Structure 1
Amino acid sequence: MREIFGGMPWWVKWIAVPVIALVVFGTVIVSVLSVLIGLLFKVLIFVALVGGLIYVVRKFMSSSSSRSGW
């Protein structure tokens, strides 16, 4: 790889090649990122719903157990 870029100017290695890679693989990168962000969002929604369910059940159980003592 060093032989290929050895005689090239610095801007070819650091500007042109990354820009070409983004143009070629840009849609793939965007689709992978959107899938990961969507998955992260669904995981956060799941955690929030399970946490809310646990909170409601514990609140209900504590209030019903205090009534049964009477």
Structure 2
Amino acid sequence: MREIFAGMPWWVKWVAVPVIALFVFGGLIVGILQVLVGLLFKVLVFVALVGGLIYVVRKFMSNSSSRSDW
């Protein structure tokens, strides 16, 4: 591979090849990023819902136990 790029100018290696790679694989990269961002969002929503549920249950349990004390 080094022999192929040996006689090429620097801009072919560092500009043209990455641009062509982004053009060819851009849809794949965007698709993977969408899946990762969607998964991260779902994980954050899950954590928030579970945290809210735990908060509500603890609040309810502490209120019900304090009512039975008197």
Same fold, judged at TM 0.5 (above)? yes
AA paired with 1:26?
Answer: G
User: Does the alignment pair 1:51 with 2:55?
Assistant: no
Unpaired stretches in structure 2, ≥5 consecutive residues:
none
Q: Distance in 2 between matches of 1:19 and 1:46?
A: 38
Aligned to 1:17: 17
TM-score (norm 2): 0.97
- Which runs of 5 or more residues in structure 1 are unaligned? none
User: Could you state the TM-score of these two structures normalised by the residue count of structure 1?
Assistant: 0.97
> Runs of 4+ in structure 1 displaced over 6 angstroms?
none
CA distance in 1 between counterparts of 2:15 and 2:60 reads 61
Residue 4 of structure 1, CA deviation? 1.1
The 3-state SS of whatever aligns with 2:8 is coil
Instruction: State the shift of 1:2 in Å.
Output: 1.4
The Cα RMSD (Å) is 0.5
Paired letter, 2:56: V
CA distance in 1, matches of 2:53, 2:66: 20
1:46 CA drift (Å): 0.4
